Structure 1
Amino acid sequence: MQKRILIVDDEPAIRDMVAFALRKGDFEPVHAGDAREAQAAVTDRVPDLILLDWMLPGIGGLELARRWRREELTRDVPIIMLTARGEENDRVSGLDAGVDDYVVKPFSARELIARIRAVMRRTREDDESGSVAAGRLRIDGAAHRVYAGDTPVTIGPTEYRLLHFFMTHPDRVYSRSQLLDHVWGGNVYVEERTIDVHIRRLRKTLEPHGLDGLIQTVRGAGYRFSEQS
């Protein structure tokens, strides 16, 4: 079955161009011109991935990404941000909002399809990653859920991948570049600053449950997951 991809962009020409590239890549494109149309499309059928423009009329792309990450229906759907804003602070803002990757306009169809396949490949690997536990913290791989004791933990897909890697490789220090290779994949270009953003978000996710101390900074070396303080 073809993977369904929702294109959220207020420029019809860009939607048409992206849809053409998606069909050539054997994906099923769905169009939305603003947040209202996008929400209606998601409610009708949850897509396998969302391509989300940063600049939208009314509710912008960043706010829409934050909303989807809070909602049960869409919190696990990968999001790639399409943006003309290539500055580091803008990219970090997108990552903070919960997007999994970003493509800076103008972009080639080849690059876009490669990014989509890379994100989907990581998501598929997550689904097959199994279960693991450390003290009160537990990952149910089959259900793709995280628990603190019996309490479900709301977590974004990238933080889920990062946490799963940490929990299956405890008490070992990993540099930023090593985490990029293991969690994002060696063939995907992601800046090392990205790691710091997601570490911060992962700690913020675990903090209400008193588990943020499991993610430890090793000054000058990187990060590790450990139950030892």
Structure 2
Amino acid sequence: MSKPVVLVVEDEPGIADTIHYALASDGFEPLGCASGAEAIVQFSARGPALAILDVGLPDMNGFELFRRLQELPGGRDVPMVFLTARSSEIDRVVGLELGADDYIAKPFSPRELVARVRTILRRSARGQALGHEEKAAPALVHPAPSAINREALLQGSLVLDEERRLIRYHGHPLELSRYEYGLLATLMQRPGRVFTRDELLERVWDDPGESFDRTVDAHIKTLRAKLRAVREDEDPIRTLRGVGYALKD
């Protein structure tokens, strides 16, 4: 049985060697690149199961490399993780807004990195399996109204369609990552009810032990930005400092 290939784009040899050893010891096949140009070639040739991208590369910004990889055939189906020495909130938010699956700041624990890789791959496999099931399922020509009503949840200007995993805001479909969708869908289930960060981690993340409070905050920030893009004068999410978040009722 072939090992999952993990593309590691890191130009610092010491860090790259550490990542390669950790991945190889845990059953993965690391594929190393020291530049963005080399990564594009290897990505196209090998079709990795996951990519780890250093933000500070010698020939291009890691965020730009992310965009280019996503434009390649099958690129949008490959989970990607940013690895960087810059841990400021703005860098983290930029990475998450682009659609990255995770963001790890240096210095990091090799065991933690491998654990996150495994978690992301498990989640990705479940998502792909669900997608295949949906494609294989026969379409309903005339769905029963009761079925539609059961799957739709209306909260003010927000409409949740659980069957399609789609949320509309003032009639506009939102392009949400899996975490943004999970957070907003959770808040919509109980308007006014305050969910702590720990509760949101438990409900939305597959392996909450591998995520942190700041992960929730970063995703809420990107979610708010997408809501503001539809209606700049509204913010349906309420923040309780030091506690968590709620949907305004």
Contact 1:23 1:29 in 2 (8 A): yes
Output the amino acid matched with 2:62.
G
Match of 2:9 in 1: 8
Q: Distance in 2 between matches of 1:158 and 1:5?
A: 22
Match of 1:47 in 2: 48
Task: State the Cα distance separating 1:72 from its structure 2 match.
Answer: 8.3
Give me the CA root mean square deviation: 4.0
Q: Distance in 2 between matches of 1:93 and 1:42?
A: 22
Contact 1:6 1:30 in 2 (8 A): yes
Contact 1:69 1:156 in 2 (8 A): no
Output the amino acid matched with 1:8.
V
Unmatched segments (≥5 aa) in structure 2: 135-150
Q: Distance in 2 between matches of 1:59 and 1:91?
A: 18
Match of 2:161 in 1: 138
Output the amino acid matched with 1:63.
E
Task: State the Cα distance separating 1:30 from its structure 2 match.
Answer: 2.3
Task: State the Cα distance separating 1:51 from its structure 2 match.
Answer: 0.8
1:223 is aligned to 2:224 = no
Match of 2:194 in 1: 173
Task: State the Cα distance separating 1:55 from its structure 2 match.
Answer: 0.8
Task: State the Cα distance separating 1:27 from its structure 2 match.
Answer: 1.5
Q: With structure 2 as the length reference, what TM-score do the two structures score?
A: 0.66
How many aligned residue pairs are there? 222
Q: Distance in 2 between matches of 1:166 and 1:70?
A: 33
Contact 1:84 1:104 in 2 (8 A): yes
Unmatched segments (≥5 aa) in structure 1: none
Task: State the Cα distance separating 1:215 from its structure 2 match.
Answer: 5.0
Output the amino acid matched with 1:61.
G
* 2:195 match: secondary structure: coil
Output the amino acid matched with 2:244.
G
Q: Distance in 1 between matches of 2:89 and 2:112?
A: 20
The structure having more radius of gyration, on CA atoms, is 2
Contact 2:167 2:173 in 1 (8 A): yes
- For the structure 1 residues 39 and 25, does the alpha-carbon distance in structure 2 shift closer, same or farther, using more than 3 Å as the test? same
Match of 2:144 in 1: none
Output the amino acid matched with 1:4.
V
Contact 1:7 1:50 in 2 (8 A): yes
Structure that is richer in helix per residue: 2
Q: With structure 1 as the length reference, what TM-score do the two structures score?
A: 0.70
Pick from 179, 186, 209: which aligns with 2:208?
186
Match of 2:33 in 1: 32
Contact 2:187 2:195 in 1 (8 A): no
Output the amino acid matched with 1:138.
D
- For the structure 1 residues 222 and 111, does the alpha-carbon distance in structure 2 shift closer, same or farther, using more than 3 Å as the test? closer
Pick from 175, 179, 183: which aligns with 1:158?
179
Output the amino acid matched with 2:183.
L
Contact 2:81 2:104 in 1 (8 A): yes
Match of 1:110 in 2: 111
Q: What do the CA deviations read for 1:13-68 (whole angstroms, capped 9, x no partner)?
A: 54344223222211122232222222233334543221111210222113333555
The percent identity for this pair of structures is: 38
Contact 1:6 1:49 in 2 (8 A): yes
Match of 2:138 in 1: none
